[in-house]
Structure 1
Amino acid sequence: MKLGFLTACLPGLPLDEIAEWAVAEGYQALEVAVWPSTGGRDFEASHLPVAGFTDADEQRTRELLDRTGLTISSLAYYENNLHPDPATRESIRTHLKHAIDTAARLGVDSVGTFIGRDPRLSVLGNLREGEKALPELVEHAGERGVKIVIENCVMEGWHPDGYPGNLAYSPELWEWMFDLGFYLNWDPSHLTWVGIDPLETIEPYLDRIVHTQAKDVELSRQSATATATSAS
């Protein structure tokens, strides 16, 4: 296992500067953010031009990796693949395919994203919609030897009522997405704050965990008590 970080935390720096800093700090890998552009959200950045990735882009990237000794653990494009607006969903789908194509060219094993959710539908309705809309992406990736890894982030901000906006927040839903051919980008921090013991999720799904993320997380007993009191 190699220690790295997601480059989205440094949206204003080019990839070569990030890579040089990473090596100096002892990192061995980068999960490279590949959104179309850097927008106003704090989890997105654009560090490889996957749409229209040229031979020159590939050469520069390979030279950077050779020079620094870093590897790319995954390409990152965490978006709502069940977005309710058809045009937006198609745009996301197209860009995700560009990311998959670029990963294949660079010999990167995986691309990270979200399942997402259409907030107009129930969970069951979203599962049925996902069974129609998502297999094409899995097939596109499989034909190129790339795995699509789904992060188990709740993304409650994507739902107007604060419900989970990414249908991968619970192990009860992982089985469904595994049946579709997805893999897991396992992040224990998201499990902890929704009351799931992350350690209990490792052994049953070890063969589907391709990539992992980690963040500091702390559960405040005082805050939990205050929330419970106000809701009573």
Structure 2
Amino acid sequence: MDKKPDNPIWAMSSAFDQLPLHALIATAEKIGVQGIDLCVFRRDGTRSDHTATHLEYEGFSPDDAARVLDQFNASGLRLSLGAFENLIGGDPAERIRNQNHLLKLIRMAYLLGGDANDVKVGTFVGYNHELGNQENGFQKNLDEYRRVFTPIIRYAEDLGVTVLYENCPMEGWRSAAYTSTYNNLPGVLAARKLMYALIPSRAHGEIYDPSHDVWQHTDPVEVIAQSDMSRIHRIHVKATRNLKTTARTDWGGMYPMQSVDAGLAAAAGVSIPANAWNRHHYEAMLPGFGGSDDLDWRAFVSQLTEKGFTGPYEIENEARNSKDTGNQGAIIQGFRAAVGFLSPMLWELDATGGYTHGGVKPLLRPNARDIPVRTVDQL
């Protein structure tokens, strides 16, 4: 029998936005995960969906880092950081604030041990629609990405920290009155390959979330087969069930639903979006919780194992029947179900304890000198 890969399973903290850090850690222990991807969003940011701030990012010091490392070691957990915003488009003042916040997180990750402790920094890239609406708009977004991120990735590399992009297209990030739902540059594999060619540094990679490709009618198993595995450091565990609705027949599976006059739509018997996120005929789920989804998870995990992936599988709970209920019990049930779903594929069978993870290595105390907070104009 083939040996199981023993990947750790983590929880992303966005589902527990109402919990302080100590309660979050206690909940993670209860769920049975081996780590937490801590959301550290700007408190004055413009996003209101699936955000949380579980570390104080202003004035974060080496002493703060030591306390966090001790707290996680005492619970047998590991950690990463992340905040997911538009860094190359949108309001010009907001994008600078988002860039500066990313630099704060990179500094925090450095103080927490960076790559030596596998403390990565997750982010979006975003998209600049003023450029995108022009001829060759996608290339212009790639060029803007290179301009903005080249000094950011150099800064991260100098500090021994890796920045990770999530592949969500952020399909509901703009009003449904806009035609396109492509709002985050690394939303397709081709873009990520081009981004690494533009900035060849090893100090950036990705958090791959298969659920976003499922509704784009792309097989995540094939995406992994064609990916550079040295770039994939995290896997998001989130499922998608593609819905067979009249709206899918009305608008097809290739294009998003479009917003038209409501009276005209009613007269014609045509479906229109109920909100900006209701445009691609799918339901966000957790694997193994409340029904089947449209990914062959065994084939997906097997492909990752075959290609040597050893990193965490991070449960990102945005499920309608779990996180969206607002019910803490249902949220925890969803996480537990996902852990139970994954564990036979990842962990060895213990003689008495069932499928059990092999154990977590403690986080090291880094010998990191304090450094000042930097802003993008100083890079």
Instruction: Describe the SS at the equivalent of 2:239.
Output: coil
Task: Determine the C-alpha separation between the residues in 1 that align with 2:69 and 2:90.
Answer: 37
Structure 1: gaps (5+ residues): none
1:117 aligned to 127, 146, 154, which one? 127
- 8 Å contact from structure 2 (residues 85, 126) kept in 1: yes
Higher-RCO chain (CA-CA 8 Å, sequence separation at least 6):
2
Alignment partner of 2:112 out of 106, 109, 112? 106
TM-score for the superposition, normalised by structure 2: 0.57
For residues 127 and 186 of structure 2, what CA distance do their matches in structure 1 show? Answer: 10
Question: Which of 17, 24, 36 is the equivalent residue of 2:23?
Answer: 17
Q: Is the 8 A contact 2:62 2:111 kept in 1?
A: no
Determine if contact 2:72/2:78 at 8 Å carries over to the other structure.
yes
- TM-score normalized by structure 1? 0.92
Partner residue, 1:168? 186
State yes or no: 1:45 paired with 2:52. Answer: yes
Which residue of structure 2 aligns with residue 225 of structure 1? 249
Instruction: Please tell me whether the aligned partners of residues 38 and 46 of structure 1 are also in contact (alpha carbons under 8 angstroms).
Output: no
SS at match of 2:111: helix
CA distance in 2, matches of 1:42, 1:203: 32
Alignment of structure 1 residues 169-188 onto 2, 5 Å = 169-179=187-197, 180=199, 181=201, 182-188=204-210
Displacement after TM superposition at 1:50 (Å): 2.3
Indicate the residue corresponding to 1:149 in structure 2.
Answer: 164
Change over 3 Å in CA distance of 1:51–1:203 after alignment to 2: farther
- Residue 134 of structure 2 corresponds to residue 92 of structure 1: no
Q: Distance in 2 between matches of 1:2 and 1:50?
A: 26
Aligned residues: 230
Larger Cα-atom Rg:
2
| Partner-residue secondary structure (3-state), 1:98 | helix
Which residue of structure 2 aligns with residue 213 of structure 1? Answer: 236
Higher helix share: 1
Q: What residue identity is the alignment partner of 2:163?
A: I
Q: Which residue of 2 aligns with 1:196?
A: 218
* Structure 2 gaps, min length 5: 1-6, 133-137, 254-269, 272-379
CA contact (8 A) 2:57 2:104 kept: yes
Task: Please give the alpha-carbon distance, in whole angstroms, between the structure 1 residues aligned to 2:160 and 2:230.
Answer: 17
Could you tell me the percent identity over the aligned residues? 30
- Paired residue for 2:300? none
Query: How far off its partner does 1:177 sit?
Result: 1.6
Equivalence for 1:27: 33
Aligned counterpart for 2:141 among listed residues 114, 120, 126:
126
Aligned amino acid, residue 133 of structure 1: V
- Please report how far the alpha carbon of residue 86 of structure 1 lies from its aligned counterpart in structure 2 after TM superposition: 2.6
How far did 1:33 drift?
0.5
Q: Secondary structure at the match of 1:168?
A: helix
Deviations 1:89-119 (A, max 9, x none): 2111111011011111112431000110111
Shift of 1:222: 3.3
**Cα distance in 1 for residues equivalent to 2:44 and 2:64:** 19
3-state secondary structure, aligned to 1:185? strand
CA distance in 1, matches of 2:60, 2:235: 26
Which of 61, 78, 85 is the equivalent residue of 2:68? 61
In structure 1, what is the Cα distance between the partners aligned to 2:239 and 2:92?
36
Counterparts of 2:191 and 2:26 in 1: how far apart (Å)?
A: 39
Distance across 1 between alignment mates of 2:159 and 2:226: 27
Cα contact 1:36–1:51 (8 A) shared by 2? no
Cα RMSD (Å): 2.0
